[in-house]
Amino acid sequence: MKELNSFLQNRSVRRVGVFLLIAFVLYLLRSQMNIILLTFIFSYLITRLENFILRRISIYRQIIVLLLYVVIAAVIVFVFVKYIPVLADQINQLVKFGNHFLTTDSNNDFINYIIGLANQFDIMKYTEQGVSMILTYLTNVGTVLMNVFIALMLSLFFSLGKEHLISFTNQFSTSKIAFIYEEVKFFGSKFVATFGKVIEAQFIIALVNAVLTTIALWILGFPQLMTLSIMVFLLGLIPVAGVIISLVPLTIIGYSIGGLEYIFYILIVVIIIHALESYVLNPKLMSAKTNLPVFYTFIILIFGEHFFGIWGLIVGIPVVMFFLDVLGVTNQEEDEQLKDTISHT
């Protein structure tokens, strides 16, 4: 009995047990996972934006919070009502054009070779499956809007009553379940420090990519710029692969507008933006200790999409970064640099 008590008092055992309890609770709440993730993302991003504004403007925090939520709600409703139906229609037309493109002979031998290669791998079969999944999400506007509305309201209540919420939650530290509270607090702080920051970085990167791509498409004379920019932004939320995936519809539209010359221009634009993301934005914004190799990134995206759908593509990398942080996995090169810095000071 004494050995069992000693085993249960072990910090690592308690931590694993609490983690399994949290995982079990989240499994029971899996039907509400959309609202849970959206609430966390809204709360985290708006808190960061709120702090950014308050450092520059002296004003009541509650006023800033209310103004931010009003603006965000108005933008979301405007995009969903005005542009999501247009985006769904544009994707549908894009699929039809892609089918026509792959079933029609061209005067160009290189294009015919590409068409033959695509038909050999039956690429449209996979494209149509992915597009049909996207269309299902886009056309089911009512359910998505309801989830977004509930998440916005929950995050609004969190932001307005943050101080009281924190003080009330801290009361558990002296309760009979204090050991559970301490472990939940540990995982919560790790989650915010890794998952939250990676999500924030993905949003900033997606926004920068969308703005730069839209400017390039405007110069090239692409139609429906707002619709395309929304599509690029949404795909940009997928780390690394999002920029590459956006290449497919953009090259098809570019070929319909200006032929092979425009495909070349689009490739140059995507290469420049991908280089900017990989060598400037990611090192600048990603503050996690471990930089995932591209191979691991694509493995996580593939399995994340398989098990969790679109959410797996967006939150797969942040979740893995959270686990790596909990397990204490660090970049050896950074550790060596840190040791060198300490030894020279």
Cβ neighbours of 161 (radius 10 Å): 12
| Cβ contact 233:278 at 8 Å | no
In a domain, 52, yes or no: yes
In a domain, 229, yes or no: yes
Report residue 166's pLDDT band, with 50, 70 and 90 as the boundaries: confident
Give the separation between CA 10 and CA 3, rounded to whole angstroms. 11
Q: Which of 49-58, 155-164, 314-323 has the highest mean pLDDT?
A: 155-164
Maximum CA extent, the chain: 83
Residue whose C-alpha is closest to residue 115's, from 130, 103, 128, 132? 103
Give the separation between CA 195 and CA 322, rounded to whole angstroms. 6
Report residue 341's pLDDT band, with 50, 70 and 90 as the boundaries: very low
Is there a single domain that holds both residue 170 and residue 192? no
Number of domains in the chain: 2
Give the separation between CA 254 and CA 165, rounded to whole angstroms. 52
Buried (b) or exposed (e) across 67-90, using 16+ Cβ within 10 A? ebbeebeeeeeeebeebbeebbeb
Domain that holds residue 307: 178-330
Domain end position, chosen among 128, 150, 174: 174
In a domain, 124, yes or no: yes
Give the separation between CA 207 and CA 123, rounded to whole angstroms. 29
Give the separation between CA 196 and CA 189, rounded to whole angstroms. 10
In a domain, 339, yes or no: no
Res 80: pLDDT: 74
Task: Report the percentage of the chain scoring pLDDT > 90.
Answer: 0
Domain end position, chosen among 138, 155, 174: 174
270-291 confidence digits (pLDDT tens): 888 877 777 777 666 665 445 6
Give the separation between CA 319 and CA 325, rounded to whole angstroms. 10
Is there a single domain that holds both residue 219 and residue 70? no
Which positions ≥6 away from 168 have C-beta within 8 Å? none
Least confident span in 12-16, 191-195, 319-323, 340-344? 340-344
36-48 confidence digits (pLDDT tens): 888 988 888 888 8
Q: Is the pLDDT of residue 135 over 70?
A: no
Give the separation between CA 265 and CA 12, rounded to whole angstroms. 55
Q: Which helix (H) or strand (E) holds 232?
A: helix 225-236
Q: Is the pLDDT of residue 110 over 70?
A: no
Domain end position, chosen among 159, 174, 189: 174
Report residue 203's pLDDT band, with 50, 70 and 90 as the boundaries: confident
In a domain, 263, yes or no: yes
Q: What is the mean pLDDT of the chain?
A: 75
Report residue 111's pLDDT band, with 50, 70 and 90 as the boundaries: low
Q: Is the pLDDT of residue 326 over 60?
A: yes
Res 344: pLDDT: 43
Is there a single domain that holds both residue 80 and residue 154? yes
Is there a single domain that holds both residue 158 and residue 223? no
Q: Is the pLDDT of residue 137 over 60?
A: no
5-30 confidence digits (pLDDT tens): 665 567 777 888 888 888 898 888 88
Q: Which long-range contacts (CB under 8 A, 24 or more apart) does 65-74 make?
A: 65/156, 65/159, 65/160, 66/160, 69/152, 69/156, 69/159, 72/42, 72/46, 72/152, 73/152
Report residue 312's pLDDT band, with 50, 70 and 90 as the boundaries: confident
Is there a single domain that holds both residue 250 and residue 275? yes
In a domain, 344, yes or no: no
Is there a single domain that holds both residue 112 and residue 236? no
- pTM above the 0.75 mark? no
In a domain, 41, yes or no: yes
